[in-house]
Amino acid sequence: MKKLTNLNAFFAAIAAKQALYLPVDNAVGKAEYKKWQEGTVMSDALNTARSAKDFFFPQTENLMEFKMEGKRIDVIDTREACEDFVIFGVRACDAASFDILDRVYLVDPVDSYYKNRREHGTVVTLACSRPAETCFCGTFGIDAADPKGDVTAWKVEDGYVLRANTEKGEALLASVSDLLTDTDDTAVKAEQEKLRAIMEKLPLANLTTDGVGEGLTKELFDRPEWAALSESCIGCGTCTFVCPTCQCYDIRDFDTGHGIKRFRCWDSCMYSDFTKMAHGNPRVSQLERFRQRFMHKLVYFPDNNDGIFGCVGCGRCLASCPISMNIVKVMKTLAKGGNQ
């Protein structure tokens, strides 16, 4: 393990060689990732309003262009060489979401756009110190006190302790070795003990996945509780846009007058026109769309991914839903027959 006492010098040293992004408070007091420059102050917020998945799966991105002259069509590859970059301050929940996205975009057929960004990005995670009442990452086996990533960082009393977990992480720390000193894990263990004690007292500390999971499609699909659960949902899609694991997108063509631009953008299973085809939408009611979202997170994804759930317990949907309907209420209701 390595000890760091001058965080700003660490940021400057990294930024001198590659782009560096970290959580920064915006004008409305929400944290969002911004490119570091001298004078940038890292946010103290628990988490960013939107997750770090934007770096690998951006909300919008151009895929290709078409130029047409008569019957001749030229396909133009608009991808640019991706530069190396570092993301600092990623929490354990968001770091776990990358594994979920990898299972979607790095299996055949591999999404080359996503793969390119993943290969060039180095993730430095930061262990939580003040978890929120909406946190429930532990439900899915995520340890907020020991997050994954290329490098894991812990804030201690007199600086930061860093641990490289991958080759990319080792290379990053080697590039700033003059700012680091060797240390043991004594301070880290003390911080981990304090955080885990807090996590055990959170309101959702005892939330379990009992009642959901792989192999339960037939049992859960027609449960009568879906009607009451979905009744107040307004289909705004906020939950899907703040979610670090949602992976749905739409592909559209835009006529510029000089050719066609093809781009993709995030989409939401909560929208009435989601996956709309020539004959219409296969899910015509809000109940069906609501059920699809949570069945995918809690049953369909585990079915196809060795029991791994499509949720990381970051709590963003709990904090953002305008009608306070969320995955926790769904899990509790399905587990206890609607008696919650």
Expressed as residue numbers, the domain containing 178 is: 2-199
CA dihedral in degrees (11, 15, 20, 23; nearest 10)?
A: 40
Q: Looking at the structure, tell me whether residues 153 and 282 fall in a common domain.
A: no
From 171, 199, 227, the end of a domain falls on 199
Given this model, what pLDDT does residue 279 score? 67
| Residue 233 is assigned to a structural domain of this protein | yes
Q: Looking at the structure, tell me whether residues 225 and 153 fall in a common domain.
A: no
Given this model, what pLDDT does residue 6 score? 96
| Residue 195 is assigned to a structural domain of this protein | yes
| Residue 190 is assigned to a structural domain of this protein | yes
Instruction: Give average pLDDT by consecutive 10-residue segment, the chain, 340 residues.
Output: 96 96 93 95 94 95 90 86 93 97 96 95 96 96 97 96 98 97 96 96 96 95 95 92 94 90 92 73 85 96 96 96 94 74
From 153, 170, 199, the end of a domain falls on 199
| Residue 272 is assigned to a structural domain of this protein | yes
Residue 154, both tokens: 């812990």
Burial class (CB in 10 A: 0-12, 13-18, 19+), 293: buried
Q: Looking at the structure, tell me whether residues 141 and 187 fall in a common domain.
A: yes
Give per-residue pLDDT as tens, 80-129. 778 999 999 999 999 999 999 999 999 999 999 999 999 999 999 999 98
Q: Which residues contact 33 (CB under 8 A, 6 or more apart)?
A: 21, 22, 23, 24, 48, 52, 54, 55, 87
Q: Which residues contact 150 (CB under 8 A, 6 or more apart)?
A: 122, 123, 124, 164, 165, 166, 168, 169, 172
Asked if 92 contacts 144 with a C-beta cutoff of 8 angstroms, the reply is yes
Q: Looking at the structure, tell me whether residues 24 and 171 fall in a common domain.
A: yes
Q: Looking at the structure, tell me whether residues 139 and 72 fall in a common domain.
A: yes
Given this model, what pLDDT does residue 338 score? 44
Q: Looking at the structure, tell me whether residues 171 and 290 fall in a common domain.
A: no
C-alpha 86/C-alpha 94 separation (Å) is 15
b/e map 110-125, b = 16+ CB within 10 Å? ebebbeebbebbbbbb
b/e map 32-61, b = 16+ CB within 10 Å? bbbebeeeeebbebbbbbbbbbbbbbeeee
Question: Measured between alpha carbons, how far is residue 62 from residues 104, 252, 263 in Å?
Answer: 20, 10, 4
The candidate with the shortest Cα–Cα distance to 61, out of 255, 246, 263, is 263
Residue 27, both tokens: 């004008």
Count the domains in the chain.
Answer: 2
- Mode of pairing for the β-strands spanning 159-164 and 151-156: antiparallel
C-alpha 129/C-alpha 246 separation (Å) is 26
| Residue 207 is assigned to a structural domain of this protein | no
| Residue 230 is assigned to a structural domain of this protein | yes
Q: Looking at the structure, tell me whether residues 183 and 60 fall in a common domain.
A: yes
Given this model, what pLDDT does residue 314 score? 96
| Residue 291 is assigned to a structural domain of this protein | yes
Sign of CA dihedral 299, 301, 306, 310: negative
| Residue 209 is assigned to a structural domain of this protein | no
Residue 158, both tokens: 């007199």
